[in-house]
Amino acid sequence: MTRIAKTPEPPYYAVIFTSLRTAEEKGYGVMAEYMAELAAQQPGFLGLESVREELGVTVSYWESLEAIKQWKQQVEHREAQRLGRSDWYAAYKVRIARVERDYHFGTLDD
Amino acid sequence: MTRIAKTPEPPYYAVIFTSLRTAEEKGYGVMAEYMAELAAQQPGFLGLESVREELGVTVSYWESLEAIKQWKQQVEHREAQRLGRSDWYAAYKVRIARVERDYHFGTLDD
């Protein structure tokens, strides 16, 4: 469970990861949680929002395209991507976007 | 329930709408569904992905910033936004982003 990410003033970058799962549960929950923790430790990480019904949407926020590239190439993350394609995901789409503007309503603190 | 949106080649735009609901259910489900249908009829609409647990993430895709502006100002959508702030949402954040690159795994067809 994640909250609304407290990101800095734009511009920054978003990775929109939209996925459909297979029926394979083995290892998925633990890996998904570990990847969220690991992402949060990477240089340039700004925040993450993740929700799943049948469709899953995970948006991670980053300072730069270089930070996104480094995270994509991180060794444990590469292994998770490989397992994702072989076992856990029927399909996914990744979109890399530059956040140009944002606004909010209400308080974003817990 | 939505699927992975079949968007064209980048560049295009994404509106990332992340929200936390109040306990007020009255009218919410019908309005959310109607707004998704109405958005799909707007000029420049490319697709929509929407998922909710406690946190909700809805990403809509658009041809241009002008299309996003027109949708934000659409009369029925303005009324839905007003009701959202008064009744249905404790907090939300809207991020407008330019999708620069995308890639996918698996087939995105149903």
Q: How far is B41 from chain A (nearest CA, A)?
A: 22
pLDDT in tens, A57-87: 999 999 999 999 999 999 999 999 999 999 9
Domain assignment present for A92:
yes
Rounded to two decimals, the ipTM of the complex is 0.96
The backbone torsions φ and ψ at residue A106, rounded to the nearest 5 degrees and listed phi first, read: 80, 180
Q: Do B97 and A1 touch (CB under 8 A)?
A: no
Query: Which pLDDT does position B12 carry in this prediction?
Result: 98
Query: Which pLDDT does position B48 carry in this prediction?
Result: 97
The answer to whether residues B61 and B9 touch, using CB atoms and an 8 Å cutoff, is: no
Query: Which pLDDT does position A74 carry in this prediction?
Result: 97
Domain assignment present for B4:
no
Name every chain B residue with its beta carbon within 8 A of the beta carbon of A101: 95-96
Query: Which pLDDT does position A1 carry in this prediction?
Result: 55
Q: Report the largest interatomic distance among the alpha carbons of chain B, rounded to a whole angstrom.
A: 41
The answer to whether residues A57 and A92 touch, using CB atoms and an 8 Å cutoff, is: no
**One digit per residue, pLDDT tens: chain B, 110 residues?**
579 999 999 999 999 999 999 999 999 999 999 999 999 999 999 999 999 999 999 999 999 999 999 999 999 999 999 999 999 999 999 999 999 999 999 988 65
Q: Report the largest interatomic distance among the alpha carbons of chain A, rounded to a whole angstrom.
A: 41
CATH number, domain of A47, equals 3.30.70.100
| DSSP letters for B27-82 | THHHHHHHHHHHHHTSTTEEEEEEEESSEEEEEEEES-HHHHHHHHH-HHHHHHHH
Instruction: Give the whole-angstrom CA distance, residue B105 versus residue B103.
Output: 7
Mean pLDDT for A8-33 is 96
Name every chain B residue with its beta carbon within 8 A of the beta carbon of A87: none
The answer to whether residues A74 and A38 touch, using CB atoms and an 8 Å cutoff, is: yes
Both structure tokens of B12: 């295009």
Query: Which pLDDT does position A3 carry in this prediction?
Result: 92
| Residues listed for chain A | 110
The answer to whether residues B48 and B58 touch, using CB atoms and an 8 Å cutoff, is: yes
- Which candidate from B3, B5, B102 shows the least CB-CB separation from A96? B102
The answer to whether residues B104 and A91 touch, using CB atoms and an 8 Å cutoff, is: yes
Query: Which pLDDT does position B108 carry in this prediction?
Result: 81
* Cα nearest neighbour of A52 on chain B: B51
Instruction: Give the whole-angstrom CA distance, residue A3 versus residue A54.
Output: 20
Query: Which pLDDT does position A60 carry in this prediction?
Result: 98
Q: Do B51 and A53 touch (CB under 8 A)?
A: yes
Query: Strands, DSSP E only, in B1-110?
Result: 12-21, 45-52, 55-62, 89-105
Name every residue whose Cβ is closer than 8 Å to that of residue A78 and which is 6 or more positions away in sequence. A72
Chain B 18-77, residues with CB within 8 Å of chain A CB atoms: 18-20, 49-57, 59
Domain assignment present for A34:
yes
Domain assignment present for A89:
yes
Domain assignment present for B2:
no
Domain assignment present for B28:
yes
Domain count, chain B: 1
Q: What is the pTM of this model?
A: 0.96
Query: Which pLDDT does position B86 carry in this prediction?
Result: 97
pLDDT in tens, A27-65: 999 999 999 999 999 999 999 999 999 999 999 999 999
Domain assignment present for A91:
yes
Query: Which pLDDT does position A110 carry in this prediction?
Result: 56
Residues spanned by the domain of A58: 12-99
Domain assignment present for A105:
no
